[in-house]
Structure 1
Amino acid sequence: MRRFCSGSRWLVPAASLALGLGLGAGLSKRGRQPSQLGAEAEGLLSRLPVVPVVAAATTTSDLAARGGVGDSGDLAKYGLPGLSLLRTRESYVLCYDPRARSALWVVEQLNPATLSGSSDRAACDFRSDDSIHEYHRATNADYKGSGFDRGHLAAAANHRWSQKAMGDTFYLSNVAPQNPHLNQNAWNNLEKYCRSLTKYNKNVYVCTGPLFLPRMEADGKMYVKYQVIGKSHVAVPTHFFKVLILEKSSGEIELRSYVMPNSPVNDKIPLENFLVPIESIERASGLLFVPNILKRTSKLKAISAGSNLKAITAGSTT
């Protein structure tokens, strides 16, 4: 799937990541419908060509109206225990995971206009997201003394066009505990690379999120284990992903998808070594990233490890 430097002390064993990700079916086998995201999905969401499928409706009234909880809606009359939490801001769209105290995914749109401006990062402060119930939101105190950085999912430097847009990236709902070496080196390089792609593409859509991958323990069984930090028990991902959707001026669309372990990574390792098939991330995350992409282009290129191109047309793979 990827080429790792043999014996490198910087990376988790490649075998455990490969087991966690697995190989998915071809893109040409997708027959998916776009997600129904509810009336609150406004702003940036309306401008995005694709967003990951959310497996729940936005409101109980939506469910009752569709007859999904009985004709009279009796099962939902006192409210349902939990639904996917969608947040739209000037700079990104986010789907929140209350259990992990972080996002399932964050989608942002990059182009030369979003990267230009006089916004000042020093004027921004990390803060709790008051739109999330207090039981389920992270605080700055959770990160203090934890040994982890407050790692942006939608990067602050991607949104220099507006001070508010940059400031919105400092909500802790857009943050996950990240190894400091990874955050400040290899992951930072990947973020810079995403920005550089705006020079050659009409738009660059970036979807970022955490992964919690299994690994084999001494008893030969597979387990999903992760640390939690702070009184809020903020989940520490085992890995992070980025899925890039590149819109060419020609109308062609290109996919690139990356996974990095949440541990120190040698920043001299080429980024292409972290390319994985998008299906691998879909299997590991429970998300479907581009359910309607073949409705928007007659030709799609997915770049996998080693810069191998897989050209995809509706109904067939070549």
Structure 2
Amino acid sequence: MKWWKNFSISSREMLKLLSIAGAAGSIGYASALHHAAIDDQRRKYDDSVFQVERDESVAVFPPSLFSRVSAATKVKDSLIIHQANVIPEPSQNAPRISQIMRYGFPSLSNIRSLDDFVLAYDTRLRIPQWVFEHLTPASVAKNDQVDRSKCDFHEDGSVHHYFRSTNEDCKYSGYDRGHMAAAGNHRLSQDICQQTFLLSNMAPQVGKGFNRDKWNELEQHCRKLVSQSRNVYACTGPLFLPRKADDGKLYVKYRVLWDNHVAVPTQFFKVVVCESESGELSMESFLMPNAAIDDAVPLKTFHVPSEVTERASGLLLFDQLNKKQFKLINGKTAAWI
């Protein structure tokens, strides 16, 4: 029986699995992990509801705004609690944030709502904690009015300058400024595409072999899913996983960049939920090392049970959905997982 069948798996056992994954490199990492765990219109609200700071189109929301904030409520075991119906799709006139976050917030920490994606910013690590996207055929379609090359990486004015990352942080570091919400997913307007270049949407990523290659392949894969779906929801973020040192103990070790101490993640996750025109749901969950990966390694090698990502990140992902509602998980019939 596969280990994730036993939902009561101990923290020690989980750390053991994560350390196996974290200790491996490139193709070896992939194999070990596979086998071990295998709206253009600007929204308007009353100033008493939220505050847009400085000149950025970033809305910072208090918890009271949301009618459903599942991550701040009592945790429910999604493997046991059964929900018979999928949460109704918000109307086209609903605020964009309610459309994006249809299935619940993973957390409520320093949330920023932009025009076409939502993020939670980690003020200590100076990178996103998570970024949430709602992809549709319109949002990813080629748009001659949108030119990525005219976008520029820029600081997020809604983040206090104590905790802001800057362009200097990645300069000469050997790392790329890696998008969590990909620019190619947000082509409704030039302004929306430009928002994906906020540094609050970036985390340092290995360039050749990862950000420009295997991670880009994963982003393209998500856009392909849109052509087969009514809605695609994606949650993306960094991870910092333990590795076993020479003394046999587990440690979390990561590099920080320059004076702002921007953290370099050891791994990244992306969990994607697709909804077909008929309402059927499927999920794919990926965990990838922040390292160069051989082009020959297939994306499916990085499939992991979503529980692995949740435990490692401390986030509840799509917890308004029950596993029984998915027709497919990581490409397999859910009943067999």
**TM-score, normalised relative to structure 1:** 0.77
Residue 242 of structure 2 is matched in structure 1 by 214
Give matches, 1:245-260, under 5 Å: 245-260=273-288
Residue 28 of structure 1 is matched in structure 2 by 79
Query: Per-residue displacement from partner, 1:150-176 (whole Å, max 9, x unpaired)?
Result: 000000011112111100000000000
Give, in whole Å, the separation in 2 of the partners of 1:245 and 1:277: 13
Correspondence for 2:106 among 53, 72, 76: 53
Letter in 1 for 2:219: E
Query: Per-residue displacement from partner, 1:52-86 (whole Å, max 9, x unpaired)?
Result: 332x5xxxxxxxxxxxxxxxxxxxxxxxxxxx201
Q: Structure 1 pair 122/250, CA: closer, same or farther in 2 (3 Å)?
A: same
Letter in 1 for 2:333: L
Residue 170 of structure 2 is matched in structure 1 by 143
Give, in whole Å, the separation in 1 of the partners of 2:253 and 2:27: 17
Report whether the alignment pairs 1:225 with 2:274: no
Residue 153 of structure 1 is matched in structure 2 by 180
Give, in whole Å, the separation in 2 of the partners of 1:44 and 1:222: 42
RMSD (Å), alpha carbons: 2.9
Residue 78 of structure 1 is matched in structure 2 by none
Report whether the alignment pairs 1:309 with 2:333: yes
Letter in 1 for 2:318: V
Give, in whole Å, the separation in 2 of the partners of 1:16 and 1:275: 12
Give matches, 1:185-204, under 5 Å: 185-204=213-232
Equivalent pairs, count: 266
The alpha carbon displacement at 1:15 in A equals: 8.4
Letter in 1 for 2:99: R
Percent of aligned pairs with the same residue?
44
Q: Structure 1 pair 31/222, CA: closer, same or farther in 2 (3 Å)?
A: farther
In the alignment, structure 2 segments of 5+ residues that lack a partner are: 3-16, 18-23, 39-75, 84-93
Residue 90 of structure 2 is matched in structure 1 by none
Give matches, 1:285-296, under 5 Å: 285-294=313-322
Residue 130 of structure 1 is matched in structure 2 by 157
- Describe the SS at the equivalent of 2:98: helix
Query: Per-residue displacement from partner, 1:149-205 (whole Å, max 9, x unpaired)?
Result: 000000001111211110000000000000002000000000000001111111111
CA contact (8 A) 2:25 2:291 kept: no
**TM-score, normalised relative to structure 2:** 0.72
CA contact (8 A) 2:27 2:297 kept: no
Letter in 2 for 1:45: I
CA contact (8 A) 2:34 2:304 kept: no
Residue 90 of structure 1 is matched in structure 2 by 115
Q: Structure 1 pair 121/15, CA: closer, same or farther in 2 (3 Å)?
A: closer
CA contact (8 A) 2:175 2:204 kept: yes
Residue 311 of structure 2 is matched in structure 1 by 283
Give, in whole Å, the separation in 2 of the partners of 1:214 and 1:14: 16
Query: Per-residue displacement from partner, 1:223-243 (whole Å, max 9, x unpaired)?
Result: 011000021000000000000
In the alignment, structure 1 segments of 5+ residues that lack a partner are: 3-7, 33-41, 57-83, 312-316
